[in-house]
Amino acid sequence: MITMDQIKLDQQLKSNGIGINATELHGFLSGLICGGINDQSWQPLLYQFTNDNHAYPTTLFAQVSEFYQTISTALADVESFSFELGLTENENVFARADSLSEWANHFLLGIGLAQPHLDREKGEIGEAVEDLHDICQLGYDEDDDNEEEMSEALEEIIEYLRTIATLFYTHFNQSPSVEKPLLH
């Protein structure tokens, strides 16, 4: 769900000529975090992929940094499963579907940048990557008159994406186990 802070952030992004909206930014940052980027290296990636390698104005960057921290905190609280996708709140099912698509595509970009060999993952992670690719390809027919069915399907996809994000976060943010030397 998009918050009042995200609405303000969306306005700030537009007024500063940044070619990304708050939903896309949420997906992108979530992907970077889920992919294991937990230092300042997210900043140059942000500039490179959203602003032609130019830094953000100071006030906007402060807002984006706070946004990054909020997302990171929600993802780190795996036990409460409090992470939400930063989707636009709209009653129109088609607008919600578009928002979901924007989020998923930018999430895939972020996690792909953080994990350049994501396509080599096997097992549960590999299946989740394939599912994420499929979700990014989803479309709809605006002539479809069964909006209730589409709305239910969207809710299921949203819950699944939350699960995928948590799965990626726990997989790529584990601290490597320290192996004890063997005594012979």
Higher pLDDT, 57 or 177: 57
* pLDDT top residue among 8 and 42: 42
Q: pLDDT tens digits for 77-131? A: 988 888 999 998 878 888 888 999 999 999 999 999 999 999 899 999 999 999 9
Q: Is the pLDDT of residue 1 over 60?
A: no
Residues 97 and 100: their CA atoms lie apart, in Å, by: 5
Euclidean distance between CA atoms 150 and 168, whole angstroms: 26
Q: Superfamily for 4-172?
A: YgfB uncharacterised protein family PF03695 (1.20.120.740)
pTM across the whole model: 0.90
Helices (H), 120-183: 123-137, 147-172
Q: Which residues contact 93 (CB under 8 A, 6 or more apart)?
A: 147, 150, 151, 154
- The pLDDT value recorded for residue 3 is 64
Query: Which of the two residues, 40 and 145, has the higher pLDDT score?
Result: 40
Lowest mean pLDDT of 45-54, 78-87, 113-122, 174-183, name the range. Answer: 174-183
CA distance 85 to 87: 6
Amino acid at 71: I
Q: Is 177 helix (H, G, I), strand (E, B) or coil?
A: coil
DSSP 143: T
Over residues 159-182, mean pLDDT = 79
What residue segments make up the domains of the chain, in order of their start?
A: 4-172
| Distance (Å, whole) CA 48 – CA 62 | 17
In tens, the pLDDT along 131-169 reads: 999 998 877 777 766 788 888 999 999 999 999 999 999
